[in-house]
Structure 1
Amino acid sequence: MTTTRATQATRATRATRATLVIGAGGTTGRRVTAGLIAKGRCVKAAGRTPTPQPGAQPVRFDWNEPATWTEALDGVDRVYLIPPTGSPDPAEVMLPFLHQARTAGVRRAVLLSSSAIPAGGPAVGRVHEQLPGLFEEWAVLRPSWFMQNFADPAPHARTIRDDGAILTASGDGRVGFIDAEDIAAVAVHALTDEQAPNTDLILTGPQALSYADVAAIITDVTGLPVVHRQLTFEELRDRWAAEIPLEFATMLAAMDRAIAGGAEDRTSDTVERLTGRRPGTLRAFVEREVRAAASH
C-alpha cells in the first residue's frame, strides 16, 4: 500500500512539472507546444524572442547565452530539443546544456534530428550519439525532408514563386517528404507516453517522390507552372554559401547528392504506428498550405 501511494505521489509530482519546448515558435516547435497543451500538459515555450502562446509560459532561451538556460530549466522534467539553426557543430553548445538539464532534474529528452544524419554523424549526429548516456528516457526524431520546405518563407517557396522552379542537386532521387504536423504528433507521443521510445525514429510521409513529382503536384493543385531545375553539387553549394557558412552549405549540398544516390528513397510506418493516424500526403499539404499562398 505504501509503495502504491509513493508511486501515485511520484506521478502527481511529475504531472505538475513542465515540458520545455525549445524553438517553440518554429515549424515543429509551435505544433508540439499546441499538442502538449491539448493534452493538458504544462509547457514552457522557449525562444530567443519568446512568443506568447495560449496555455504556455513564454521563457527566453538562447543556445549561445548559457545565462538563459537556468530559468528555462526551472521546474522542467522533459525537453523537446531543436538544434541551433545553421550551426555546423551544434554539439558544442547542446551538450553542456544537456548536462545542466540532467542536473536540473530533466528525465526525458526528445531531439529533432534528420533522416540524413545517423548517430555519430555530422552536425546533430554527435548529440544523438550521446543522448542515451545522458538520459534514461529519450528519443531522436529523424524526419525526412519537410513538406513545409515548399511553403513560405522557405527557400524553395521563393524560387517557386519567383522562377517557377525548384532548384536541387538531387537528380531523380526520391524523398519521403513529411508534414511537420506529423513530426509534431510523434514528438508529443514521445514526450507524453508512459514509456519513452528510447530509440531513434525514422519519420516519413506515405510516398517517396522525386522533386519532379513535387513540381508536378504543385502545378496540378495550384495551376502555376513549376519545374524541377537540376543543379550540380558545386552550383548548389555556392548558392547556399551566399546565405550561410560554407561548411554548412557544403553539408546541405552533400545531402542533395546523397538523395541522388537513393539515400532517402524509403518510407516508414512510424507515424501511423505511434500516433494511430496515417501521415498526410504531399497533395493534401499543397492544397492546405501552398495553394492559398499562390492565389495571393
Structure 2
Amino acid sequence: MNPAGTTLVIGATGTTGSRTVAQLTAAGHHVKAASRRATPVAGTEPVPFDWYDPATHAAALDGVDRVYLIPPLGDSDPAAIMLPFLHQARTAGVHRAVLLSSSAIPEGGPAVGKVHQALPELFDQWAVLRPSWFMQNFTGTHAHAQSIRDEGIIWTATEGGRVGFVDAEDIAAVAVRALTDEHAPNTDLVLTGPEALSHDDIAAIITEATGRVVVHRRLSYEQMRDRLTTQVPVEFAAMLAGMDRAIAEGAEDRITDTVQRLTGRPPHTFRALVEREMRCDS
C-alpha cells in the first residue's frame, strides 16, 4: 500500500466509516474524517460534512484525492444529492471513489444503484462495495439490536430465508484495500460472511452465546412495512420490507470469497462477533 495522498471518509463516525478510518490511520494513511459535527477522531483531520448542506462540500474535498462514500441514511433517492457532489469531487481532483452500496441493490437499481451506475463514468479508479446485511444490526443501534435488548425478539418478514451476514470490520478491511491498493479493482464487490444464516439461526446463536433467550418473530410484508413506518419515511419502510421479502424468496442466500480474496484472511463468523460485542443482560 502507498500511504501518499489524502482520503476523505464520509460518515466517519458510522458503522463502516469509523472502522475504515481506524484501519486507514493504523496503516499510516492521511484521513479527513467527515461528519456533521466534525467529531474529533484520533489520528485524523476532522471536517464538517452534511450531504444536505452543499456549503460543507468544498472544504471537505480540499486536498483530497480519494473518497469513501456512505450514502445519506434513510433517503430513497440519494442520487439526487450524491451525483452533484461527485461531479464536484472529480473537478476538485478526486481520482478514486469507493461507494458503500448493498448486495440487495444492483447497478442501476433503486436508491444508491443509480450512483453505482454513474461511478465508472466519473472516476478512473472506483469500486462499489455491496455487502450483505451487517452483523452489527444485531449488536449496535439498529432496530433489531434495540428490539433484542428491549424484548428479546427479532422482528422480520424474512420467514426462513438465509443471509450471508457480514462483519463491518470485514467491510472496512475491504474498503481500505479498495481505497489504497496501487491498482483499483474497478468493479463491484459482493461481501458476505463465511456462512448463510436465517434469523432463526441468528436468534439461536445469540441465545447460546449470551445466555439470554432471543427469538425470531415472523411478520408478513405488510406488517413489517407498517412497523417500519413508525421509524422511517413510508417509501423507505416499503423498500426495507421489500428487502425482507426478497430474503424470504432466497435473494441473499449466498456466500462469496471477496473478503478472503482481498484481505488474505477468512471473514469473521457471527458467533465470533457476538462473543466480541454482546454481553449477557441476565
Give me the TM-score of the superposition, normalised by structure 1: 0.93
Q: 1:17, 1:83 → 2: CA distance?
A: 23
- Show the counterpart of 2:84: 96
Quote the residue 1:236 is aligned against.
Answer: 224
Counterpart of 1:147 in structure 2: which amino acid?
M
Q: How do residues 132-147 of structure 1 correspond to structure 2 at under 5 angstroms?
A: 132-147=120-135
Q: Are the aligned partners of 2:153 and 2:217 in contact in 1 as well (CA < 8 Å)?
A: yes
How far the C-alpha of 1:252 sits from its partner, in A, is: 0.2
Matched to 2:23, the amino acid is G
In the alignment, structure 2 segments of 5+ residues that lack a partner are none
Does residue 142 of structure 2 align to residue 167 of structure 1?
A: no
Counterpart of 1:248, as a letter, is F
Within-5 A mapping of 1:252-291: 252-290=240-278
Using the alignment, how far apart are the partners of 2:63 and 2:77 within structure 1?
Answer: 28
Matching residue's letter, 2:281: S
Deviation at 1:17, TM superposition (A): 2.9
Show the counterpart of 2:30.
42
Contact 1:48–1:62 at 8 Å: present in 2 too?
yes
Q: In structure 1, what residue type is equivalent to 2:234?
A: L
The answer to whether 1:180 aligns with 2:157 is no
Q: Which runs of 4+ in 1 moved over 6 A?
A: none
Q: Point out where structure 1 has 5 or more consecutive residues left out of the alignment.
A: 1-10
Query: How many percent of aligned residue pairs carry the same amino acid?
Result: 67
Provide the secondary structure at the position in 1 that maps to 2:47.
strand
Q: Report SS of the residue matched to 2:58.
A: helix
**206, 209, 224: which one aligns with 1:221:** 209
Given the alignment of the two structures, is residue 295 of structure 1 paired with residue 281 of structure 2, yes or no?
A: yes
In structure 2, the partner of 1:116 is 104
- Which residue matches 1:66? 54
Measured against aligned partners, the alpha-carbon deviations of 1:42-82 in whole angstroms (never above 9, x if no partner) come to 10000111211111000000000111000000000000000
1:156 matches 2:144: yes
1:52 maps to a residue whose letter is P
Q: Find the structure with the greater CA-based Rg.
A: 1
**Equivalent residue number for residue 196 of structure 1:** 184
Read off the aligned partner of 1:295 and give its amino acid letter: D
| Cα contact 1:176–1:207 (8 A) shared by 2 | yes
- 2:140 and 2:58 map into 1 onto residues whose CA distance is 34
Q: Distance in 2 between matches of 1:158 and 1:26?
A: 17
The separation in 2 between residues aligned to 1:235 and 1:219, in whole angstroms, is 25
Secondary structure of the residue aligned to 2:15 is coil
Tell whether the 8 Å contact from 1:64 to 1:93 is kept in structure 2 after alignment.
Answer: yes
More helix by share: 1
Decide whether the 8 Å contact of 1:170 with 1:257 is kept in 2: yes
Q: Deviations over 1:82-140 (max 9, x none)?
A: 00010000000100000000000000000000000000101100000000000010000
Provide the aligned C-alpha RMSD in A.
1.2
CA distance in 1, matches of 2:274, 2:111: 30
Preserved CA contact (<8 Å) 2:147 2:154 = yes
CA distance in 2, matches of 1:16, 1:166: 44
Partners in 2 of 1:189 and 1:152 — Cα distance? Answer: 25
Distance in 1, Cα, partners of 2:106 & 2:256: 16
1:28 to 16, 24, 30: 16
- Tell me the equivalent position of 1:211: 199
Q: 1:192-215: per-residue Cα shift (whole Å, max 9, x none)?
A: 000001000000000000000000
Does the aligned pair in 2 maintain the 1:25–1:50 contact within 8 Å? Answer: no
Give the distance between the partners of 2:3 and 2:202, measured in 1 at CA. Answer: 43
